[in-house]
Amino acid sequence: MKSFLLLVFLLMEGSEAPSKLKGCLNGWIEFICGYNNTNITKYHTIDVVTPRESLRSTQRDEWENKGRWFLYHDTTNQHLRVIIKPQQQEDFGKQQCQFHTDSVSTPEITELELDTEDDNCQHTTFNHTTYTTAQTTILCTDKGNRVRFFCKDNGFICEDILSTTVKSNGSFSLTDNNSGFNISISDVSSQDAGVYWCGVKPNQGNYRAALQRIQLEVQNISVIKRSSAVGQTLTYWCSYPEDAPVNKFICKGEDPYVCEQLVNILKPNMKTGKLSIEDDREERNITVTVRNLIAEDTGTYWCGAGTSDEKRRNQLFNKLLLTVAGSQLAAVTATVVRVAALVVVNILILFYTCSKIRRNRREKQKSWDRGYAEVQDPPRRPSQELQ
């Protein structure tokens, strides 16, 4: 909440009232109407007059909810913050803030013109489904080169999470370029479910507009953890609901919607060899077999079913966290075996050489004893040579 207020103040700081605003039907636009008279006690009421209705702000320094409107008379900064959620084309057009000193004299008026964004209002609301512990990416469309923001609707105002200037908070991160921006959420939890908005702060004018409303649904998924050793075969199973599509698959990756399919029951020609699945439709049970495990098989796998309907996303039934252990151990073992073998061979060679030397020496000694009796320096023994 605090960061929200802070950002807004930064955006609005020292502002003149903007004259032109742009937003989307079913989105929202936040703007301010400033007033010039420093004696705030003069303003008894503020009216916001819009094409379809007139609203009155009577409270100070607190939010007032007037249906589709939110008003906040900020006496410190001497302005009225206004949030409008246009629901009909008629909501666009001329907007006026009228600051009344009393009931008779003419009010001080700030006037604004509200227009629709041309290019960016196509997908104003969509649902996004994901699963607990998954990674997921929300795609926000916005053509242009301006400040983007992403916030979570708390049912009243939208609490800021990310913007072009704050691209990550640890679990949420934002990437953007001229064609749009993506919000990536890692390790999704059920608390992340809710309504989010993708929005922009245009370069012209001190206001901001939320363009897309995203209803994030988070489904629980069971997670299986398995450790296996290199070379082994792993078998596990996932059961699925009655209405699941027939197109069962296994894919690998953190994000279940962009993960790489490794095996698909409707595509028997898919090059796998390593993975196989069997669908027991009576029991609604898929049995998965992963053969001849290698270290690179470590990772996240999803068991799911796809639909031919483009609009419906794949359904997922469980997640496997596979660790192919023993890979390092195997490497260490192999090294140890190699070193041990080398040592044994060396010892054998040494033994052979020693015994040969000893034999030779003994024979030489015998001949010296016989032929050269005056030998002074007797040959060293092989054992000394070895030391």
Ligand X SMILES: *[C@@H]1O[C@H](CO)[C@@H](O)[C@H](O)[C@H]1NC(C)=O
Chain residues that interact with ligand X, rule: CB under 6 A: 35-36, 39, 41-42, 108, 110, 125-127, 137, 139, 152, 161, 169-172, 175-182, 190, 215, 220, 237, 239, 283, 285, 287
- Give 94 or 356: the residue with its C-beta nearer to ligand X: 94
Tell me how far, at minimum, the Cβ of 236 lies from ligand X, in Å. Answer: 9
**Distance from C-alpha of 382 to C-alpha of 365, rounded to nearest angstrom:** 12
Q: What angle do CA 257, 260, 263 make, to 5 degrees?
A: 110
Tell me how far, at minimum, the Cβ of 334 lies from ligand X, in Å. Answer: 34
Distance of CA 386 to the CA centre of its chain: 66
- Of 340, 359, 361, 350, which Cα lies nearest the Cα of 387? 350
What three-state secondary structure class fits 366? helix
What three-state secondary structure class fits 170? coil
Tell me whether residue 325 is exposed, middle or buried, using C-beta atoms within 10 angstroms of its C-beta: 0 to 12, 13 to 18, 19 or more. Answer: middle
| Residue with smallest beta-carbon separation from ligand X | 170
- Give 172 or 197: the residue with its C-beta nearer to ligand X: 172
- Give 98 or 327: the residue with its C-beta nearer to ligand X: 98
Q: What angle do CA 186, 161, 256 make, to 5 degrees?
A: 25
Length of the chain as a residue count: 387
Tell me how far, at minimum, the Cβ of 300 lies from ligand X, in Å. Answer: 17
Tell me how far, at minimum, the Cβ of 227 lies from ligand X, in Å. Answer: 19
Tell me how far, at minimum, the Cβ of 234 lies from ligand X, in Å. Answer: 13
Tell me how far, at minimum, the Cβ of 181 lies from ligand X, in Å. Answer: 6
- Of 38, 57, 37, 39, which Cα lies nearest the Cα of 47? 57
Residue 245 in contact with residue 266, Cβ under 8 Å? no
